[in-house]
Structure 1
Amino acid sequence: MQAIMETLFDIVYLCTVITMGILMIRRAKGHKPTLLFGVMAVTLGCGDAFHLIPRAFALCTDGLANHAAALGVGKLVTSITMTVFYILLYHVWQLRYNKKSAGLTAAVYLLAAVRAALCLFPQNDWLSAEAPLSWGIWRNLPFAAMGVVIIVLFFREARAANDRPFRFMWLAITLSFAFYIPVVLWADAVPLVGMLMIPKTCAYVWVVFMGWQASKEPR
């Protein structure tokens, strides 16, 4: 039952975000925030597919333990694409609110570079079913810092601009991290905690949906 329900959920999720992304790219017609949001959505869906498709295959065949390498590679790809996702979201913030800050941009890119570098260290042991928890924490520290920066930026500017489409962007990102962090820390010890990835995924769909709503605004 888990295999069927989880696979169906993943199919709906991937098809939804990738389709919305493609439609936003087509709808952009030179409008950079819409174009970036579309690229964000496609990046999110395609990146997650590297992990979710092998996971669905494993669940529906001979189990997760027999596909540790494929799942690990998928997690690595997803980790990198999620980092790109937040870089693009930062640039959406810049364009939507006409903000420019060389220092802030440098900080975001530095955090992204540190995150990506930490993901590439062999100590992550991505191909093993027993990947070390310590490296899961280390590589997610700069990622969480990026998230905090984006949350604060959207919270401030959306309120100041009375930006209705993005008024809950900060909340969706906050929820995504609130559901993700326990998975990083405790999912290996308590597998049921892994269920939090479902509301975490729903939070990302919400982020994409807000971009979709904004893309329909008159220009």
Structure 2
Amino acid sequence: MVMIDNIPSIIFLWCYMFIIWGNLIHIWMKKPAERAKSWKLLFGAFFLLAFGDVFHLLPRTYLWFQYSIGHQIDIYTSPMGVSIYGIGLILTGITMTFFYLLFYLFWKEHFINRVNIPGLLNIKKRIKIFDGIAFGSVIIRNILILLPWNNYGSEPVLYLGFISFRLLTNLPLYIIGLEVLYLFLKSTRKTQSTNVVHPDITTALKRSSVWIIVSFVTYTITLLGSPAIPLLGMMMIPKTIAYLLVFYYMKKFILLNPSSMKFEKEFALAI
């Protein structure tokens, strides 16, 4: 069954959308005249995050309105309601996958392509492996998302009481997400004692990594626990807040800090 929203949940979702879209517009208006490729990749990642959530928010708002205001009691269980909600989940899932791919490409551009960092030479030698993991995860997940066994909009079919096909669909997302986390943390540890990467960027990546971990933990609780305990679906609220905090740190220290990009550009030229 589709999750039935209420006024507080709808207000929360719309507040989230206003915050993230308002900040995206703010970033775009203050964009540096010369935008580095890493800037474009990071902005693109958060644009996809916000754009994808539109497909999740609008169907939920529509269904809630029809259910609560229009008094069409069967809207959540009707074929139309299931289809609307399911299509929204599919599109959101696809854009979230590309969000992490752009995060990975941002890391690669910033730490591998632009400057030679001695501490990351081993990773640079294995970059094709990391590329394969990232792009392979995206391809596999997008294929799995489109398969009918996910039962989007309906209760998932459970095996052994808690395992569903949706868990398999999410495994590639965990793989690329953990890859990004590993590379972020590894890179910041190797560069924090050098001048290769501006300290603001190191701080941003460290703090963002913490909240990415929080987002995966809360999402895992929802994924595994909500079929048995529906109340655990509320863990999606701290997951959403975690992504806002990732956005906050990346915006504060990178997107609106052209001097950091300029610093690294000058350093790269110097070496």
TM-score normalised by structure 2 residue count = 0.74
**Aligned match of 1:12:** 15
Matches within 5 A, 1:28-177: 28-29=32-33, 30-62=35-67, 64-66=76-78, 67-99=81-113, 101-126=127-152, 128-133=153-158, 134-162=164-192, 163-177=202-216
Aligned-residue identity in percent: 28
Where structure 1 has 5 or more consecutive residues not aligned to the other structure, the ranges are none
Q: 1:202 to 1:41 in 2, by over 3 A?
A: same
Q: Distance in 1 between matches of 2:249 and 2:225?
A: 30
Cα contact 1:24–1:37 (8 A) shared by 2: no
Give the superposition deviation at 1:25. Answer: 4.0
Q: Distance in 2 between matches of 1:36 and 1:78?
A: 19
Cα contact 1:54–1:71 (8 A) shared by 2: yes
- 2:82 is aligned with what amino acid? A
Q: Distance in 2 between matches of 1:196 and 1:149?
A: 23
Q: Distance in 1 between matches of 2:206 and 2:102?
A: 18
Cα contact 1:21–1:40 (8 A) shared by 2: no
Q: Distance in 1 between matches of 2:25 and 2:108?
A: 22
Give the superposition deviation at 1:6. Answer: 1.1
Q: Distance in 2 between matches of 1:135 and 1:34?
A: 36
Asked if residue 212 in structure 1 is aligned to residue 251 in structure 2, the reply is yes
Q: 1:28 to 1:81 in 2, by over 3 A?
A: farther
Q: 1:186 to 1:197 in 2, by over 3 A?
A: same
Cα contact 2:137–2:175 (8 A) shared by 1: yes
Classify the secondary structure of the residue corresponding to 2:134.
helix
> CA offsets, 1:57-94, max 9 Å, x none?
22333164442221111111111000000000001111
Where structure 2 has 5 or more consecutive residues not aligned to the other structure, the ranges are 68-74, 114-123, 159-163, 193-201, 263-271
Cα contact 1:172–1:204 (8 A) shared by 2: yes
Cα contact 1:25–1:35 (8 A) shared by 2: no
Cα contact 1:182–1:193 (8 A) shared by 2: yes
How many residue pairs get matched? 217
TM superposition outliers: structure 1 runs of 4+ over 4 Å? none
Q: Distance in 2 between matches of 1:56 and 1:212?
A: 28
- 1:77 is aligned with what amino acid? L
Residue range with higher mean Cα deviation, 92-101 or 132-141: 92-101
- 1:32 is aligned with what amino acid? K
TM-score normalised by structure 1 residue count = 0.90
Asked if residue 24 in structure 1 is aligned to residue 27 in structure 2, the reply is yes
Higher Cα Rg: structure 1 or 2? 2
Cα contact 1:137–1:184 (8 A) shared by 2: yes
- 2:210 is aligned with what amino acid? L
Cα contact 1:21–1:42 (8 A) shared by 2: yes
Residue range with higher mean Cα deviation, 16-25 or 37-46: 16-25
